[in-house]
Structure 1
Amino acid sequence: MAVQGERLDLIIFGATGFTGKVAVFEIAKLAKEKNVTWGVAGRNQSKLETVLKEVSEKSGEDVTKVPVIIADVGDEESLLKMAKQAKVILNCVGPYRFHGEAVVKSCLTGGAHHVDISGEPQYLERMQLEYNDMASDKGLYVVGACGLDSIPTDLGIVFMKKQFQGDVNSVEVYVEFGAEDPSKSEGAGLHYTTYESAVYGLAHANELRPLRTKLYPNRMPSMKPKLEPRSPIHNRDEIGWSIPFMGSDRSVIIRSQRHFYEVDKERPVQVHVYMVTKSLLKIMMLVFMGLIFLLLAKFRFGRSILLKKLKQADCRRRDQFCPTEKTRENSKYIATLFAEGWKEKASEPDEQHTTPPNKKVVAKVTCKDPGYGSTSVMLILSALTILKESDRMPGRGGVYPPGAAFAKTSLIDEMCKHGIKFEVTSNL
């Protein structure tokens, strides 16, 4: 436990939310191993204490004496007070479009690093545009997308590049969500905030182009051969039926690749990301439902239809919308990365090879309970990496995607020790 007046190593903000509770459970198991001090924060002291009691009973670790901090996204003073008590804030309060900026700003003012699990490109890129200089000046790191969105794919490409031992030209990523035992599957399971974030992300997708023009006024070099996107519905022999993945992974990966090119003078990797669904019928259903979802999300009345039932629900009913523990335990995630490039390395990052690609490597990133258990482990290990290995991170602070932030640290090795597996499955 921290000495009176000292900052806690980590504070989980939003500890009474669905993901926050899972993060508390995971940190209860990791804190002793990693020798860190931590606390929980949220709006309601009674609910926070209840979470600590429930986690104590479930984990076998007595965490009832863990510090409890009262903080509310609508109260800047409380957020600043929280930030001044932590070295790193683990922000689990979404949608980040509405609630994220206030926490980032308070962390930078109060002297705390900030990590979150956002999968919202508009929020992530706007934070980099508006707060990178401030974070760098203060020697603080703000790293978003430190969960399933988008550590497996972003750091998966970092892992791939290290194993490739040549020049990687392109990577096609195929993500698959499934069940360890399909006969026991109860459906995918989705938390309300994740659903709400998706609705508003699609509704405001038109914000990205002007935002990116400001964030990146200079264009990246055009690498050859160019990686063209595959057909919207295609069948790859090694994988199965797939469609373009609408998550934030590709946008996060591209930000990291731009950093590697501009700062580390490395050849940028071209990337496309797809989602696997084994059945063509399921693909057609997903496309149909996706088109309806996209159409409704574009208009205020449509968003009202998509969110009305859940907005009117009380907290108890919202919890029923969450995945059950049985569903979580049975769920799995696989990201398969197909890389092509050359055995030889060019002397300059934008130098074009004169011969066709002559090397292929396939890697996989796998984990269980991806959306909540593994996401929480990724978030906690990301925060610990900032604490223990900031000297191996870029600059002296700033706003980064996880690939750029953690490429030279031991985070991948730490994740492998805690259930998130990175491996090469083919090297030709």
Structure 2
Amino acid sequence: MSTEKQFGIVVYGATGYTGRLVCEYLNKQYGVNGEVNWAMAGRSLDKLAQVRDEMQIPHTVPLVVADANNIDSLKDMLESTQVVLTTVGPYQKYGSDLVRLCSEIGTDYVDLCGEPAWMHEMIRAHALTAKASGARIVFSCGFDSVPFDLGVHFLQKHAIDKLGKALPRVKGRVRAMKGTFSGGTLESFRLTMKAAAKNPELIKVLTNPFSLSDSFTGPQQPSGMKPIFEEDLNSWSAPFVMATINTKNIHRSNFLLDHQYGEDFVYDEMMLTGAGEKGEAMANMVAEDKSMANDPMKPGEGPSKESRETGFYDVLFVGSNDNGDTLIASVKGDKDPGYGSTCKMISESAVCLLKNLDIAGGGIWTPASAMGTLLIERLTENAGLTFQLEG
């Protein structure tokens, strides 16, 4: 893979809701000192120029015209950059050609994908091509699945240091969260459900926690689909909407890390709702919530700046083994998880790849397996995330 590209990072989808936030972050964090050579890309030059002015981004930041429906424009964009950061989703609708071209050309790639059926398809179709070209393709570099994927990685690294071995059982539990979905996230969800209704084979992919782990199949995993009371946490736990994608990515990380967490690794993800009757009632309410399917929000829409700034999340990871050893870690973020924090996570993922050419070879990766501790350090230093041991 050549390092002599015109741009270090190109933000593809720069005029969209999340793309604007990414550009705002890159400009604030890296635009002044020129540490990162980045550009804005989208379908319309006029719209790109308008957004650049609205965001008060200097005219020294270049504009690149690229359209998902114009393969030549995508090729030109990818041949000019080392890392493409794409916010153009749903990825099952707009992303397949981009992944294919990155795999062929050797351009690094990061996205915000939470669409496991599409990811399964891309891995099967392009992983070997990416490996040959040197393209490092990293899916799910936003709230799904960075805090969870890296949270487990962080916990297991400390388990190996303290106990000499990873912990075979880890619970991921959302302890607190304030944030909302955008229209793009909801559209991805709706398209996935429609595709599964038409193709029963996709249901197998969506329900299999190891569907992104190539041919590997590990032990039976908890479903996480019904409220449960957990005595060790003294709390009811409810289904967590993002568990479907996060668990698959974490098992893929384990697979790509040569089963660093063990071939017997068991992981599930839920949301803590508290103890007693109130906690039980809340857990049941969460389990019965169907608001994502009926939300009227459209692509391009999302939470207000005030909502993004006042949002936060706090995720607990509890690891254990049969010897009675327990280790507890947490990951916290200082902004709305889906957007205020996500724009920082994907930006730092792109910068991490840009600045560390030797951390992974070509292939289709997860954040933990490709960047691990280096990304944790960047997120802690720059992006308002906190990783810590609690016990």
Task: Work out the CA distance in 2 between the residues paired with 1:25 and 1:287.
Answer: 36
Equivalent residue number for residue 380 of structure 1: 347
> 1:143-158 to 2 correspondence within 5 Å?
143-158=138-153
Match of 1:274 in 2: 270
SS of the aligned residue for 1:64 comes to coil
Contact 1:135-1:398 at 8 Å conserved across structures = yes
> TM-score w.r.t. structure 2 length?
0.85
Shift of 1:267: 5.0
% identity of equivalent residues: 27
Which of 150, 161, 183 aligns to 1:192? It is 183
Unaligned ranges ≥5, structure 2: none
Q: Answer whether contact 1:23 1:373 (CA < 8 A) is retained.
A: no
| Structure 2 residue 303 is the aligned partner of structure 1 residue 323 | yes
After superposition, give the CA deviation of every residue in 1:288-309 in whole Å (9 maximum; x if it has no partner). Answer: 333x86xxx6xxxxxxxx48x6
User: Counterpart of 2:334?
Assistant: 368
Count of residue correspondences = 368
The aligned runs of 1:1-400 (5 Å cut-off) are 6-31=5-30, 32=32, 35-56=35-56, 62-164=57-159, 165-166=162-163, 167=165, 168-179=167-178, 188-205=179-196, 206=200, 207=202, 209=204, 218-222=215-219, 228=222, 232-236=226-230, 238=233, 240-247=235-242, 248-261=245-258, 267=263, 269-278=265-274, 279-290=279-290, 306=294, 321-341=301-321, 356-369=322-335, 370-393=337-360, 396-400=361-365
Q: 1:40 corresponds to which letter in structure 2?
A: M
CA distance in 2 between counterparts of 1:122 and 1:229 reads: 18
Q: For residue 411 of structure 1, what is the amino acid of its counterpart? A: L
Contact 2:5-2:82 within 8 A present in 1 as well: no
SS of the residue aligned with 2:141? coil
**Matched residue SS, 1:249:** helix
Provide the aligned C-alpha RMSD in A: 2.7
Q: 1:210 to 1:269 in 2, by over 3 A?
A: closer
1:243, CA displacement in angstroms?
1.5
**What amino acid maps onto 1:105 in structure 2?**
R
In the alignment, the residues of structure 1 paired with residue 285 and residue 385 of structure 2 have an alpha-carbon distance, to the nearest angstrom, of: 30
1:260 shift after superposition: 2.2
**C-alpha deviation, 1:20, in angstroms:** 0.4
Work out the CA distance in 2 between the residues paired with 1:389 and 1:115.
14
Q: 1:126 to 1:177 in 2, by over 3 A?
A: farther
The answer (yes or no) to whether the contact 2:102–2:130 under 8 Å persists in 1 is no
Q: For each residue in 1:65-98, what CA deviation from the matched residue of structure 2 results, as whole angstroms up to 9, or x when unmatched?
A: 2110111111111111111111000010110111
Give the distance between the partners of 1:197 and 1:235, measured in 2 at CA: 31
CA–CA distance in structure 2, aligned partners of residues 198 and 214 of structure 1: 18
Bigger radius of gyration, 1 or 2?
1
Deviations 1:391-418 (A, max 9, x none): 122xx210111121123x5111111112
Alignment CA distance shift 1:178-1:208 (3 Å): same
In 2, Cα distance between equivalents of 1:34 and 1:236? 50
Question: Partners in 2 of 1:36 and 1:203 — Cα distance?
Answer: 40
2:83 partner SS: strand
The answer (yes or no) to whether the contact 2:349–2:375 under 8 Å persists in 1 is: yes
Q: CA deviation at 1:6?
A: 4.2
**Taking structure 1 as reference, are residues 371 and 34 closer, same or farther at Cα in structure 2, changes over 3 Å only?**
farther
Q: Who is 1:344 aligned against? A: none
Deviations 1:6-62 (A, max 9, x none): 420000000111110000011002224671100000112222112211222xxxxx5
Contact 2:6 2:80 in 1 (8 A): yes
Change in 2 beyond 3 A, CA 1:257/1:196: same
Cα distance between partner residues in 1 of 2:261 and 2:238? 33
- Aligned partners of 2:24, 2:369: CA distance in 1, in Å? 28
1:302 maps to none
SS in 1 for 2:142: coil
Paired residues of 1:147 and 1:378 also in contact (CA < 8 A): yes
TM-score by length of 1: 0.79
